[in-house]
Structure 1
């Protein structure tokens, strides 16, 4: 596979292109068929929405409406976690501590030979993940 795995912070930034125009420009410069999202990022976004629904129902509903567009938009570009990814995460976590979600995203990028698009490049570089920061 060639292309980019979008980290959760990139997916979230795309919801607000006026706040993060550099991210929107970067994504627009890419062919649609080279962008992937981990099911882990989908879960992280969903978790953020659930927390927002508890603190600000109106904004939570806005986010929920946006979230409902993600699955149809990314479709088969949402990567599941399988045994190979789980095993790679297990190997990565030994070298240097890494949060479970970040570790599974890193392992997904490595297994699928994708470059990880993230704001947090320093979290992933020590694990041998190719990274790009579209926020710059």
Structure 2
């Protein structure tokens, strides 16, 4: 099981080659996101909206798609999740 950190998710969104290639090489069912990662991304979008509303709108759409496509693999932060991440 993989619990993706915010920086990996952001790097994949930016299509950086290394994290994108790694993500393509693993079983999608083994990749999980935490609600903390989603919150951090949302916070970044809110901040970005003040300086670049167009990009913030694109990222907001991307985040909605990310949540929809991974709904069954978004984990609440429990003790087990925290230990898996650690």
TM-score normalised to structure 1 length: 0.59
Shift of 1:109: 4.1
Unaligned runs of 5+ in 1: 86-106, 117-128, 130-136
The correspondence of residues 65-104 of structure 1 with structure 2, limited to 5 A, is 65-82=61-78, 85=79
Q: Partner of 2:19 in structure 1?
A: 23
Tell me which stretches of 4 or more aligned residues in structure 1 moved more than 3 Å.
Answer: none
More helix by share: 2
Cα RMSD for the two superposed structures: 1.4
- Please state if 1:60 is matched with 2:56: yes
SS in 1 for 2:3: strand
SS in 2 for 1:14: helix
Unaligned runs of 5+ in 2: none
Residues 52-104 of structure 1: per-residue CA shift (max 9 Å, x gap): 1111111111111111111111111000124xx3xxxxxxxxxxxxxxxxxxx
TM-score normalised to structure 2 length: 0.91
| Count of residue correspondences | 86
SS in 1 for 2:14: coil
